[in-house]
């Protein structure tokens, strides 16, 4: 069996690599691709921008496409270059019998409210990342003549048992903001759903698709807790409780659980004041957390095909791993917001 894995040095790709090396059948030829310079045995390929390296000539039994830019700040053109163009380049390597396992995002589906949207540029999606992943799903399921499995994870946290993850990004911006005091409030619906999935279970779903039976028609797997999903208030409480347990064990005082402000109240009243009076650093924190808010207070949870059990356990282990890895940040003294010139 020949398997091509893109994005091999990313958060998901690193975990998938470890699993394939452990459980793939003997004799499996796993070829890993990274966009940036990487040591052997990885193949360097700036996907969609550079010619296909000779090492990647087919045929391939399975192509696992995890490479993507997940930044929520992508413009439409940037998102097309970062995600859509690379997918087309990868599909050019797939034969009619190649099983393409494409990693997307659960946020292609679900319900979006008017407050979540950022104008007509992204056609009803929150941002360029979501829009580009929706386009990619359409391309891979309609243009590839062979079997396709789409994997849709929600926000990815660390592994369930120990919170391990190779890089802190996305939802991890919340933790330093809580400790530093920059997250003076949490914007959203305290009873809104906040879907997360542990990294190891995302990798399990991808590897199961790559090594399992080939689907007769395009198949989609959604990882989520569904009705058992965390609510925003629980996510914040678990984060603060875990941080405070770590801080207490190291002789630091507790941080306060920030109050929750509705999205409407924040946008109508508090945000104009924040833009006018907060420092540049505080405004940057506001901008980062504003992109995060619609992902943690959804009106309805996703309908999972692979249910995530006890997401609170996942959140706690992820926060604890972050604190162990970033002790100076985790043990810092909070500095409450102050008005410029006050």
Instruction: Indicate the pLDDT class of residue 340, thresholds 50, 70 and 90.
Output: very low
Q: What is the pLDDT of residues 108-143, one digit of tens each?
A: 987 776 666 666 778 888 888 999 999 999 999 999
| Closest by Cα among 40, 49, 103 to 81 | 49
Distance CA 338, CA 279 (A): 8
User: Would you state the pLDDT for residue 225?
Assistant: 98
Instruction: Identify whether the C-beta of residue 72 lies closer than 8 Å to the C-beta of residue 126.
Output: yes
The average pLDDT across 87-93 equals: 97
d(CA 146, CA 65): 15
Where do the DSSP E strands lie in 104-189?
Answer: 148-152, 155-157, 186-187
Q: Using a pLDDT cut of 90, give the percent of the chain over it.
A: 70
Identify the bridge partners of residue 231 per DSSP, sorted by sequence position.
193
pLDDT digits (tens, 9 = 90+) for 161-185: 999 999 998 889 889 989 988 777 7
Q: Write out pLDDT tens, residues 208-260.
A: 999 999 999 999 999 999 999 999 999 999 999 999 999 999 999 999 998 88
Contact between 126 and 118 under an 8 Å Cβ cutoff? The reply is: yes
Burial class (CB in 10 A: 0-12, 13-18, 19+), 19: middle
Distances in Å between the alpha carbon of 36 and those of 21, 50, 166, 315?
22, 12, 16, 30
Q: Which pLDDT score, from 0 to 100, does residue 237 have?
A: 96
pLDDT value of position 326: 97
Task: Determine the pLDDT at residue 182.
Answer: 75
Whether the upstream peptide bond of residue 326 has omega within 30° of 0, thus cis, is no
Beta pairing partners, 102: 65, 150
What phi and psi, each to the nearest 5 degrees, are found at residue 229? -60, 150
Do β-strands 193-194 and 230-231 pair in parallel, antiparallel, or remain unpaired? Answer: antiparallel
The tens digit of pLDDT for each residue in 284-304 reads 666 666 667 778 888 899 999
What is the per-residue pLDDT for 291?
67
Q: What global pTM score does this model have?
A: 0.91
Residue with tokens 């087919």: 58
pLDDT of residue 36: 76
């Amino acid at each position: 069996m020949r398997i091509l894995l893109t994005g091999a040095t990313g958060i998901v790709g690193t975990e998938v690599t470890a699993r394939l090396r452990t459980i793939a059948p003997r004799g499996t030829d796993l070829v890993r691709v990274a966009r940036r310079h990487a040591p052997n045995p990885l193949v360097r390929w700036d996907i969609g921008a550079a010619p296909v390296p000779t090492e990647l000539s087919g045929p391939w039994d399975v192509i696992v496409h995890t490479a993507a830019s997940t930044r929520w700040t992508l413009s439409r053109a940037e998102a097309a270059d970062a995600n859509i163009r690379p997918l087309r380049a990868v599909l050019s390597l797939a034969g009619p019998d190649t099983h393409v396992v494409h990693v997307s995002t659960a946020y292609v589906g679900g319900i979006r409210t008017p407050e979540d949207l950022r104008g007509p540029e992204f056609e009803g999606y929150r941002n360029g990342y979501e829009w580009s992943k929706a386009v990619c799903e359409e391309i891979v399921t309609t243009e590839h003549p062979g079997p396709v499995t789409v994997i849709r994870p929600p926000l990815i946290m660390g592994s369930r048992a120990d919170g391990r993850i190779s890089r802190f990004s996305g939802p991890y911006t919340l933790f330093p903001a809580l400790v530093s005091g920059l997250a003076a409030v949490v914007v959203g619906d305290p009873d809104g759903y906040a879907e997360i999935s542990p990294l190891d279970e995302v990798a399990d779903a991808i590897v199961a698709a790559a090594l399992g039976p080939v689907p007769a028609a395009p198949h989609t797997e959604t990882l989520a807790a569904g009705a058992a999903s965390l609510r925003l208030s629980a996510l914040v409480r678990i984060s603060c409780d875990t941080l405070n347990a770590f801080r207490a064990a190291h002789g630091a005082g507790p941080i306060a659980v920030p109050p929750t402000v509705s999205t409407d109240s924040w946008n109508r009243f508090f945000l104009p004041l924040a833009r006018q009076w907060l420092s540049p650093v505080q405004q940057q924190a506001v901008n980062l957390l504003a992109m995060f808010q619609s992902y943690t207070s959804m009106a309805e949870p996703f309908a999972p095909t692979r249910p995530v059990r006890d997401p609170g356990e996942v959140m706690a282990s992820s926060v604890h791993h972050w604190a162990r890895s970033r002790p100076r940040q985790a043990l810092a003294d909070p500095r409450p917001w102050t008005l410029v010139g006050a």
